[in-house]
Structure 1
Amino acid sequence: MKKISIACLFLIFSGGGILVGSYFIKTTQTYEKQGRTFAYRGGDKENGKRQAQLRGCSLGCHGKNSEGAPYDGFAAPNLTGLFKDYSAEAIESVLRQGIRADGTALYKMPSSTFQYITDQDLSDLIAYYRSIPRLKDAVTYRKISLTKMMQISIGDIQPVVVGATNQKRYNRPAYDEQGNMTGHYIAHSICAECHGQTLEDGFAPSLRIVTTYQLTDLTKLLTLGEAPEGRPTDLMKYMGAVHYPAFKQQEMTNLFEYLNMELFLETHE
């Protein structure tokens, strides 16, 4: 029995060495950043605060006050410090491309949706975080759980490095007759985090269901988490209570109009 135990321990520790080695090889791999032009232009701090709420930067993955928090086996950093410590260009790379200043990749940053944030909204977000006090880090370590390390090592979890913006047909700007693309922007830069980049391939239901809604139905769903006919919506109850009260009524109207446009329906068949 002792020999078996010693053998098992040897396999566990040697396997762990291989695992950890593989993990560090993957996390130290660097990626070339896209040569995007982004110039921080100052910003509207109030809109930046609203963007932080809508996009889950505050009251979400990074903690109630963006002070950092454990998140799904990872450690989401303190944004009240990060936005002050890094250049605007480095922040753009992290948010839109999923690449740190040193070229290494992030694993949980939702860059597939943040890649569409406008320069102005990004500038407003930076202005907001640079205007508030630096809070003490709520997470004093930068560890990844063993389970996540294993998933990374075998390729189950991939870096979130994002390709060029608007590569796919459903990501192209979609205008209605008035030239209004606000609904498209909201759908692909906010809703897509849960509903997927096609708006029907995520873990949340297809947004084609909105074609059966009235505007009042969508408004109640977004702000109160109440779906038509009393359907259960645990996720939307949370989003409606915490994040989406920050939507303006006109934005919800634009979103409703976009999700009922022929162009949206044609490109999502």
Structure 2
Amino acid sequence: MVSVRRWAVRGVIALAGIVLFVAVGVWISSQLVIEKRWPIPAGGVAAARDPGAAARGKLLATRFGCTDCHGGDLTGSKFFDDPQIARFWAPNLTLVAGKYSDAQLDHALRAGVRPSGQGLWVMPSEMLMRLTDAETADLIAYLRSLKPVGEARPAKLIRAKGRIGVLIGKFKAAPSLVAEIQGQPLPDYGPGLAEGRRLARACVECHGSQLQGGALAEAPDLNIAAAYDPADFKRLLRTGIAAGNRRLGLMSESAPIRFRNLSDAEIEALQAYLKARVERQPPA
């Protein structure tokens, strides 16, 4: 009996050792991925300096969701906290802007790369990469216009399941996502639909690089927008309430912030573009 107990204890100790070894291996391997250095892009735009630049940049910051994560005043907020996956705070951009050059802000926005070359995580650069140089210059001008206030936010904390997700490629750094869709702009259906195409770029973060759905689990293919009654589509974008007084998860939370200031003409242009997308898709 003593011998059996001794072997049972040894087995438990051995199993604990294996678990510890695997856990340490996952942590070290995932940390190497998290801290990977990426090529720093050449060049970069300078902040626009004309009188209307900061106001245009503020509008872009709202429509492209900067305020969703960083807060209405861009001083940062905790936007994700799962006890098994990760905790993410969006940085206080009023402080970050003072530490980065214009080119470095451009690289962070459109390439997802810090000045050190380390990649940003949960940064939608796969959407912001579609900003033009002029738009990026306006956005940087807006960041430069903000008075430094508040405090620095805590660093990201990636927990056990999050680290496994990093290792299997479920969670990826911003530069990786940018590389995956480089050279894949939204379809161009001609000058008459250019305004709608421009506006549709703000949908990429949730609905995927080609608006096909699935960038977030609950985000559908935007073919669905073509079926909306125009009045219902306008109400959805401005209030987050869908036809039948339905709420649509994250869309209902973000739409009233991002899109409440869209004009009737802009919403009509966006829906016209999304309808053209349906009409011109090849048959399955």
Task: Give the TM interval when normalised to the shorter protein.
Answer: 0.7 to 0.9
1:92 paired residue among 98, 106, 109: 106
Does residue 61 of structure 2 align to residue 67 of structure 1? Answer: no
2:167 partner letter: S
- What is the aligned partner in structure 1 of residue 273 from structure 2? 258
Runs of 4+ in 1 over 6 A off after TM superposition: none
Aligned-partner Cα distance in 1 for 2:253–2:194 = 27
Aligned residues: 263
**Greater displacement, 148-157 / 102-111:** 148-157
1:113: Cα distance to partner? 1.1
Superposed displacement of residue 223, structure 1: 0.2
Kindly indicate whether the alpha-carbon contact (under 8 Å) linking 1:98 and 1:109 is maintained by their aligned counterparts in 2: yes
Distance 2:64 2:74 in 1: 12
TM-score normalised to the size of structure 1? 0.84
The aligned counterpart of 1:242 is 257
Equivalent residue of 2:212, what SS? coil
Kindly indicate whether residue 44 of structure 2 is the aligned counterpart of residue 32 of structure 1. no
**Structure 1 stretch displaced more, 12-21 or 95-104:** 12-21
CA–CA separation in structure 1 for the residues paired with 2:16 and 2:73: 43
Q: CA deviation at 1:221?
A: 0.8
Query: Which residues in structure 2 correspond to 1:1-12 (within 5 Å)?
Result: 3-4=10-11, 6-12=13-19
Choose 1 or 2 for highest CA Rg.
Answer: 2
How far apart, CA to CA, are the structure 1 residues paired with 2:167 and 2:263?
43
Secondary structure (helix, strand or coil) at the match of 2:89 reads strand
What CA distance in whole angstroms lies between the structure 2 residues aligned with 1:156 and 1:79?
Answer: 27
1:2/1:139 CA distance change after superposition, 3 Å? farther
Structure 1 residue 97, shift from structure 2 partner: 1.5
In 2, the alpha carbon distance for the partners of 1:116 and 1:248 equals 22
**Which residue, out of 189, 203, 211, partners 1:199?**
211
Q: Which 5+ residue runs of structure 1 have no aligned equivalent?
A: none
The alpha-carbon deviation at position 8 of structure 1 amounts to 4.4
Matching residue of 2:127: 113
Partner Cα separation in structure 1 for residue 18 and residue 65 of structure 2: 42
Which of residues 109, 131, 134 is equivalent to 2:148? 134
**Are 1:55 and 1:243, in contact at CA under 8 Å, matched by a contact in 2?**
yes
Answer yes or no: is the 8 Å Cα contact 2:44–2:107 preserved in 1. Answer: no
Q: Secondary structure at the match of 1:171?
A: coil
Contact 2:226 2:278 in 1 (8 A): no
Question: Would you say the 8 A contact 2:57–2:142 is kept in 1?
Answer: yes
Name the counterpart of 2:195. Answer: 182
Note closer, same or farther for the CA distance 1:235–1:165 as it changes in structure 2 (3 Å cut).
Answer: closer
User: SS at the partner of 1:140?
Assistant: coil
Is 2:223–2:278's contact at 8 Å kept on the other side of the alignment? no
Give me the CA root mean square deviation.
2.7
Measured in 2, the distance between the counterparts of 1:101 and 1:209 equals 40
Correspondence for 1:163: 179
* Deviation, structure 1 residue 231: 4.1
Could you tell me which residue of structure 1 aligns to residue 83 of structure 2? none
Alpha-carbon distance between aligned partners in 1 of 2:46 and 2:279, rounded to the nearest angstrom = 35
- Per the normalisation by structure 2, the TM-score is 0.80
Whether contact under 8 Å (1:26, 1:153) holds in the other structure is yes
